[in-house]
């Protein structure tokens, strides 16, 4: 079918004896490996993939590339292409007299298919739904985050060139590039997972690839309640906040679950509202029909054509939005988002990096100042108070668990200080014998929050009162 495939035996026979001998020597190595490798039932699979395994894989991979026509292969659907590659690899293994067990050969076949058609050694990690982050530090070290804890895996790449090739394959799918001229790149996978690549010479030990994965099934607030991230009354409060069009800022550290929480809140936006999202790399998974997704663009090779987050937020105002959602506020676009929140776009949302609600306001003020706006500090704070209604703080605790630690209202100013009031907080009570943190969500006892009139306008005042009362009852237990 591929032209070259029928000539594989002749090609192998015509190679110089030195090349054939080298291939045979490489192919004989895996035959001895099982004697030193642990049995298949061993819980530690790292010893199976020795240096000899990668040498053998490299030899067979090279023969495969010579034997197939990549252009013809690309025309097949993935399933047929995978079967074709498996057939050819089996022929190469037979011709080169590679002695391998059935399980070893299957593993080799899967690895080579992933190298040709997918993301190489990353494929087994990408299909796992329990992994939150994949961190590749050069060709030889790959870490993952599972249940909030970082673990070293046995995944490795053939060399830095293979890793760089996979990085370029990922970013090219969304029209971006990573090379010596542009060594830093933000991109995404087809499922919305966030990707960051930093390549040499900036990354000294080889390309560094970071993937923030999202679960295949979209999380809801009810699921976060079952996970313990928020209590049931707290979940009801967040649903009301999303429903009554409060302007919300979600604050938290890296990996604390800000984007996940933002996705959950958008589930309670009415389906007849027009929502526009602005992101550096599109990762939000909104659950509405009427959504317009916008994404920034880096400059081209000549340094021209960049479209910044601020450009997108300003353009949103001309698109008749009812809500504007900014994936992450990190620069001068903070000013434009506050302007939008304050000029009839109630229910707008955004996330930023901060360790507490008070620090989140300080960061907003700093970002506006760094953007070159020569406004007095009091003017900026008054703008923040009139624009933002609620700050939701997310945190990843030391045991790896993620919790919503504060639901805080922005009340007003006293002099030059912005006044905040906590509606819900998370209290740490201790830890169990396994090191897991024990805590509880509780209401602070505020019976009539600032959003009361807004809740009453939307007919949610009784539900809001019930949620606050339920949390106070829980506090007594």
The residue with greater pLDDT, 146 or 288, is 146
Rounded Cα distance, 99 and 327, in Å: 52
* pLDDT tens-place string over residues 72-87: 776 777 777 778 777 8
| Dihedral Cα 227, 233, 235, 240, nearest 10 deg | 180
Sign of the torsion angle spanned by Cα atoms 297, 300, 305, 309: positive
348 CB-contact burial (10 Å; exposed 0-12 / middle 13-18 / buried 19+): buried
* pLDDT tens-place string over residues 445-471: 887 899 999 999 999 999 999 988 888
User: Which pTM does this prediction carry?
Assistant: 0.75
Determine if residue 187 is left, alpha or beta; phi over 0 gives left, psi from -120 to 50 gives alpha, anything else beta. Answer: beta
251 CB-contact burial (10 Å; exposed 0-12 / middle 13-18 / buried 19+): buried
* pLDDT tens-place string over residues 261-271: 998 888 888 88
Residue 469 CB contacts under 8 Å (≥ 6 apart), including other chains:
none
**Site of tokens 């590039």:** 177
Q: Is 261 helix (H, G, I), strand (E, B) or coil?
A: helix
The residue with greater pLDDT, 476 or 17, is 476
Q: What value does the mean pLDDT take over residues 166-193?
A: 85
Nearest to 56 by CA among 48, 44, 67: 48
Q: In this model, does residue 60 exceed pLDDT 80?
A: no
Q: In this model, does residue 247 exceed pLDDT 90?
A: yes
- Which tokens is 271 given? 């389906």
- The residues pairing with 293 across neighbouring beta strands, listed in sequence order, are 277
Q: What value does the mean pLDDT take over residues 142-166?
A: 88
- Which tokens is 28 given? 């004989």
Q: In this model, does residue 395 exceed pLDDT 90?
A: yes
């Amino acid at each position: 079918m591929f032209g070259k495939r029928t000539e594989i035996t002749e090609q192998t026979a015509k190679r110089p004896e030195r090349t054939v001998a080298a291939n045979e020597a490489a192919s004989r190595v895996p035959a001895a490996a099982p004697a030193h490798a642990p049995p298949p039932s061993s819980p530690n699979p790292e010893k199976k993939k020795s240096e000899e395994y990668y040498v053998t894989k490299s030899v067979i991979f090279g023969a495969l590339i010579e034997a197939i026509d990549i252009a013809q292969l690309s025309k097949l659907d993935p399933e047929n292409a995978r079967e074709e590659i498996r057939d050819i690899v089996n022929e190469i293994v037979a011709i080169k007299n590679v002695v391998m067990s059935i399980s070893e050969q299957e593993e080799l076949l899967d690895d080579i298919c992933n190298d040709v058609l997918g993301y190489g050694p990353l494929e087994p990690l990408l299909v796992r739904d329990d992994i939150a982050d994949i961190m590749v530090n050069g060709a030889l070290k790959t870490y993952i985050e599972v249940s909030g804890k970082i673990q070293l895996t046995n995944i490795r790449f053939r060399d830095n060139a293979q890793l760089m090739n996979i990085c370029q394959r990922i970013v090219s799918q969304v029209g971006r590039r990573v090379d010596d001229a542009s060594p830093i790149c933000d991109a995404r996978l087809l499922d919305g997972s966030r990707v960051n690549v930093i390549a040499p010479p900036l990354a000294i030990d080889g390309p560094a690839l970071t993937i923030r994965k999202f679960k295949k099934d979209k999380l809801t607030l009810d699921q976060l309640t079952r996970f313990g991230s928020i209590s049931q009354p707290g979940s009801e409060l967040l649903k009301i906040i999303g429903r009554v069009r409060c302007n919300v800022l979600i604050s938290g550290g890296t990996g604390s679950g800000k984007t996940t929480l933002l996705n959950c809140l958008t589930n309670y936006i009415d389906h007849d509202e027009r929502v526009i999202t602005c992101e550096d790399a599109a990762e939000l998974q909104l659950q509405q029909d009427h959504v317009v997704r916008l994404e920034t663009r880096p400059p081209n090779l000549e340094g021209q054509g960049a479209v910044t987050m601020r450009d997108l937020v300003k353009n949103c105002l001309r698109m008749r939005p009812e809500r504007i959602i900014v994936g992450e506020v990190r620069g001068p676009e903070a000013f434009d988002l506050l302007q939008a929140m304050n000029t009839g776009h109630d229910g707008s949302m955004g996330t930023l990096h901060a360790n507490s609600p008070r620090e989140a306001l300080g960061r907003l003020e700093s970002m506006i100042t760094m953007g070159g706006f020569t406004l007095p500090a009091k003017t900026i704070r008054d703008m923040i108070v009139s624009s933002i209604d609620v700050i939701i703080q997310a945190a990843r605790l030391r045991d790896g668990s993620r919790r919503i630690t504060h639901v805080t209202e922005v009340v007003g100013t006293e002099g030059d200080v912005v006044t905040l009031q906590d509606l819900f907080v998370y209290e740490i009570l201790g830890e169990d014998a396994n090191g897991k943190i024990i805590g509880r969500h509780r209401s602070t006892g505020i019976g009539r929050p600032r959003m009361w009139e807004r809740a009453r306008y939307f007919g949610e005042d009784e539900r809001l009162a019930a949620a606050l009362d339920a949390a106070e009852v829980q506090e007594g237990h």
